[in-house]
Chains A and B, each alone.
Chain A
Amino acid sequence: MTKVAIIGVGYSGYAPLTPHMSFKEMMFEASKRAYTDAGINPRTDVGSFICCEEDLWEGISITDEYVPDQLGGAQRAVCTVSDDGLVGLINGYMQIKSGLTDVVVVESHSKLSNVLSQGDVTRMSFEPYYERPFLTAETAVALEMRRYMFERELDDDIPAMVVAKNKKNGLGNPRAPYSAILSMDEVLSSPMVCEPLRKAHIPEPADGCSVTVLASEEKARILVDQPVWIRGVGWFSDTPWVSQRDFSKAVYAEGSSKMAYKMAGVNTPAKHFDFIEVDDSYGYKELQHLEALGVYTKENIKRAVEVGETDLRGPLPVNPSGGKISLGDMVEANGLVRVVEAVLTLRGQGPRSLRGAKHALVQSWRGPPTASGSTVILEV
């Protein structure tokens, strides 16, 4: 079966507010860039369009109604995968692998600035009988954070160091609106939201749209000089019941990465990658995810952070883009936002210290209260 490559990326927004454009106009801008990057005409060259979104983040039910025109997909095969953008990309990968088509467009976006009731929307994602009366996103996260830090014997300074690192990484990324020089002390003195979760741990909401163009090997070699190959994909869900999870580990990240490693033939993930983009919500999630990916262990993760192994110039840069902490929370677009970052870095358009990088891993998580996530392995 054919190999599958990413041959074009595009983006727009990536800002706290985007009042000058509707979500349609934001999608139009991002997709135009991706099509130009890939050298394709969406009206003639694309077999399928996939969009990742959720009704209540849009404030429109059956929100896929409002998708085709601005992607160039009217009267074409368009669908919604109600999941993180990375899962959309994985479905596009499978469409090409199956022989159904040879060019697929994957889009995801956030207009969180338009959602005035963000807390209410998140609360509606909790199970209505047992969980919704008690839990909010912050309490659910804090419960897990406490247990994870307890089991790994982590002090408050460790998640704070992750936040500071990613805020700083973002300063080198022109697309990261929340990048900053932020000291560990500043993180630790930010207001407590729900112990041990502080305001500075929580990624700030952002608007933005990411688009990727996928192609079969044959098409990729004709269309672009620098295809980025998708070598492995995985997606996985743990139990939906918050109180029944093993808070010490990210089962979904473990399951999705095992699937992707098997496909890509990766046996020693700790040595395979030149850099990694993982979900870094609340600081501690970056650590929990790195463990689940088999890149670090519960024994050595703390030290890795303390000695700066995951820093931009360390032996294994993690979130060189600045991560969700610097790019902002773009809900279902989070995974695709990071794919765009990883593709640009693999093409040598990212941080200078990562020129020549060949192997990357992108991992994403759907955010609270879910335990669902996905992993993609990229290579040039």
Chain B
Amino acid sequence: MRRVAVVGAGMTLFRHRMLETGKEMAFEASRMALDQAGLDIKDVDSVVLGSAPDAFDGVHMKGEYLLDGAGGTRKPYTRVFVGGGTGVFVPIAAWWQVASGVADIVLVVGEEKMSPLLPHPQYAFWSIFDPILERPLGVTLLWIFSLEMRRYMHVYNVSEEDIALVAVKNKRNALDHPAAQLAANITVDDVLKSEPICWPVKRLDVSPTSDGAAAVVLASEDVARRITDDPVWITGVGWNVDSTYWTNRDLCYPEYLEKAANMAYRMAHISDPKKEIDFAEVYDPFDYKELHHMEGLQLARRGEAPKLTREGVTQRDGDLPINPSGGLLGVGNPIAAAGMMKIAEVFWQLRGEAGKRQVKKPVRRGLAQAWGDLMQVGTVVIMER
């Protein structure tokens, strides 16, 4: 197993609707990542792209369409896909190309252009459901997440106020992120009084739909030592997918995420994640998901994440900063690009390049995680200085 480093990262603004096409956004993020690594496209051996459902763009085989924007022309190029978990999975698929010795430098691109779909990007999510058993009921993505949120609240006796604290923290953190779409100073009361969409989910509990792209460059140890004094190593990768039948699982706890995390912890030789992980970018398309995921990652005991949040442990200056970037709730949620934004954030934090977002304590090891499908996929990457 060869060692694999991250040597550069880049991203576009995240906004509800962008003038740039998907190709153009992929290009901008890729160019910035290559520039930070001091590399040119001719140095790149292979390109891996991540992008979520084709239904958003109205383009079939979207990976082929985005190919030239992502720098894949006349190169080995492919697209991988695990729903919302894709953003953190693309670097994993690039990792095994470098670790196996097949490639030395891989460009990793996450792109999402959700805005083209009319009347609303949410409509694409109707087509993710079982066409025979679920779609006839008029099911929406919001249903299943609110069902999960309700179950989590019920089993661990978590209040809507506890959950709202996450939205308050992340939107405030995002005030320092130059890409942010929904950065704001809000209160718990603002969240509780925001319009109910699918109770218990309210407007301010949810991340927005977004356009955007983000990219990183991975390199083998030889290359990384040659081009940078400051490589960040990928020391653990893990992913796991649970059964399709989401109504047959207890939604109070993400077992698949625990398994994905354990796969990554084993590889990174981590036995006590709570002590050994310095900070984490966990997937927060909804505020309750940050809590849910902290528990699945075993950064908190089951039902304990709300308490840690109340005590300020997860703030940027806390003992275990969670989502110092501002997360999906604050920076925005162009799905595959949002996961890649988390990878980029861990990279910048570990290099001390996060500027006003830099967490207070010294950090050596960070974790990025994403989640998706029918509340079913966990993807985890661990990075170290």
Contacts and interface: CB of A to CB of B under 8 A. Distances in A.
A and B touch in the complex (CB under 8 A): yes
A65 interface: yes
A375 B347 CA distance: 35
B254 to A, nearest CB: 11
B137 interface: no
B101 to A, nearest CB: 6
A82 B97 contact: no
Interface string A221-235: 000000000000111
Contacts of B96: 91, 94-95, 97-98, 100
A79 B82 contact: yes
Nearest to A332: B61
A264 to B, nearest CB: 13
A67 B241 CA distance: 9
A69 B244 contact: yes
B155 interface: no
A77 B240 contact: yes
Interface string A174-217: 00000000000000000000000000000000000000000000
Contacts of A56: 54-55, 60-61
A60 B127 contact: yes
Interface string A100-139: 1000000000000000000001101101100000000000
A68 B58 CA distance: 26
Interface in B218-263: 237-245, 255-256, 259-260, 263
Contacts of A76: 240-241
Interface stretch (B30-38, B71-79, B198-206, B280-288): B71-79
B88 to A, nearest CB: 12
Nearest to B103: A94
Interface stretch (B189-197, B290-298, B371-379): B371-379
A324 B127 CA distance: 30
A99 B101 CA distance: 11
Contact of B59 (A68, A80, A97, A124): A124
B138 interface: no
Given A236-B75, A239-B73, A61 B61 contact: no
Contacts of A335: none
Interface in A267-281: none
A366 B61 contact: yes
Interface stretch (B12-20, B62-70, B167-175): B62-70
Contacts of A37: none
B93 interface: yes
A97 B100 contact: yes
B176 to A, nearest CB: 32
Contacts of B244: 65-69, 74
B53 A75 contact: no
Contacts of A125: 59-61, 64-65
Contacts of A97: 96, 100-102
A240 interface: yes
Contacts, number: 192
A124 B241 CA distance: 29
Contacts of A145: none
Nearest to A331: B61
B324 interface: no
A59 interface: yes
Interface string A44-83: 0000000000111001111011111100011111111111
Contacts of B95: 98
Nearest to B124: A61
B68 A240 contact: yes
B81 interface: yes
B240 A1 contact: no
A16 interface: no
A75 B54 contact: no
Interface string B78-110: 111111000001000101110111100000000
Contacts of A62: 52-53, 81, 83, 128, 372-373
Among B72, B100, B243, B372, the one with the most A-chain Cβ atoms within 10 Å of its Cβ is B100
B241 A128 contact: no
Contact of A94 (B58, B97, B127, B255): B97
Interface residues of B, number: 62
A65 B246 CA distance: 10
A372 interface: yes
A259 interface: yes
B55 A55 contact: yes
A105 B362 CA distance: 42
A370 interface: yes
Given A98-B1, A237-B67, A255-B74, A81 B80 contact: yes
A82 B63 contact: yes
B241 A64 contact: yes
Interface centre among A66, A74, A79, A238 (most CB of B within 10 A): A79
A54 B241 contact: no
A74 B55 contact: no
B156 interface: no
A150 interface: no
B54, B65, B78 interface centre (most CB from chain A within 10 Å):
B78
Nearest to A114: B131
Contacts of B63: 82-83
B243 A100 contact: no
B73 A240 contact: yes
Contacts of B83: 62, 64-65
A259 B77 CA distance: 13
Nearest to A236: B76
Nearest to B54: A55
Given A98-B1, A241-B68, A251 B263 contact: no
Contacts of B73: 237-240
B100 A124 contact: no
Contacts of A82: 61-63, 78-81
A378 interface: no
B102 A55 contact: no
Contacts of A94: 96-97, 99-100, 102
A240 B82 contact: no
Interface of B: 1-2, 52-55, 58-65, 67-68, 72-83, 89, 93, 95-97, 99-102, 124-125, 127-128, 130-131, 237-245, 255-256, 259-260, 263, 372-374, 376-377
9 pairs of A and B residues whose beta carbons are closest in the complex: A97-B100, A98-B99, A124-B60, A78-B241, A99-B1, A61-B53, A98-B100, A125-B60, A74-B243
Given A65-B373, A66-B244, 13 more contacts: A1-B100, A61-B128, A62-B128, A82-B63, A82-B80, A97-B101, A100-B96, A124-B54, A124-B60, A125-B65, A236-B75, A256-B76, A263-B102
Interface of A: 1, 54-56, 59-62, 64-69, 73-83, 87, 91, 93-95, 97-100, 121-122, 124-125, 127-128, 233-241, 251, 255-256, 259, 263, 366, 369-370, 372
9 contacts: A68-B242, A74-B244, A75-B242, A91-B78, A97-B96, A98-B96, A100-B96, A125-B59, A237-B74
